[in-house]
Structure 1
């Protein structure tokens, strides 16, 4: 293995995500993954990061306790992205029917994630999105 001293991920079947996996790593690794400066900051709703969780693509850029690989859900008609997991949260966007909402966390009846790969970040009620079919 070149450039790193341990696999980035280890799965029970022995498969590893390599340092060249462009989905989870936008830049090639040049040594062990480490924070080399301050954590990236952005306006709320712009990056899929919050105090406890961030999208795996932000590992090495944002310091949080957990990173998640998104699961692509599909928006139903009338789905709304809101700023907080409540019915009184500010509506940030209306999702088109069939739009991809990348879910990073589910708590109760709310999901937290990002519209597409680089859209707005917020909460969508679980009843407004459809889970991917098994095998996808």
Structure 2
């Protein structure tokens, strides 16, 4: 919802906070040849909005940028308590 004034979408999703397991590049588009927006360090937070194939789309809060990165660079979610 925080991006509603900057990005049009037919629906909006609640972001899921994740961490990066390794350094990666946030890109403007899914194409690996698209312009790089910023390089993110391992451990950086990423607000995941959508998974599209092998790519994750979301917000890099420390950079204040929206873009794509390889989904494989996201650390797995911790197991639910009691599982």
Q: Does 1 or 2 have the higher relative contact order (CA < 8 Å, sep 6+)? A: 2
Shift of 1:69: 0.3
Flag as ranges the 4+ runs of structure 1 deviating above 4 A.
none
Q: Per-residue CA shift, 1:14-44, capped at 9, x if unaligned? A: xxxxxxxxxxxxxxxxxxxxxxxxxxxxxxx
For residue 76 of structure 1, the aligned residue among 21, 33, 40 is 21
Shift of 1:95: 0.6
Structure number with bigger Rg: 1
Unaligned runs of 5+ in 1: 1-55
Q: Which TM-score applies when normalising by structure 2? A: 0.79
Unaligned runs of 5+ in 2: none
Higher strand fraction (1 or 2): 2
| Count of residues in Structure 1 that have an aligned counterpart in Structure 2 | 80
Q: Which TM-score applies when normalising by structure 1? A: 0.51
Q: Per-residue CA shift, 1:88-114, capped at 9, x if unaligned? A: 121111111101010101110001000
**RMSD, aligned CA:** 2.2
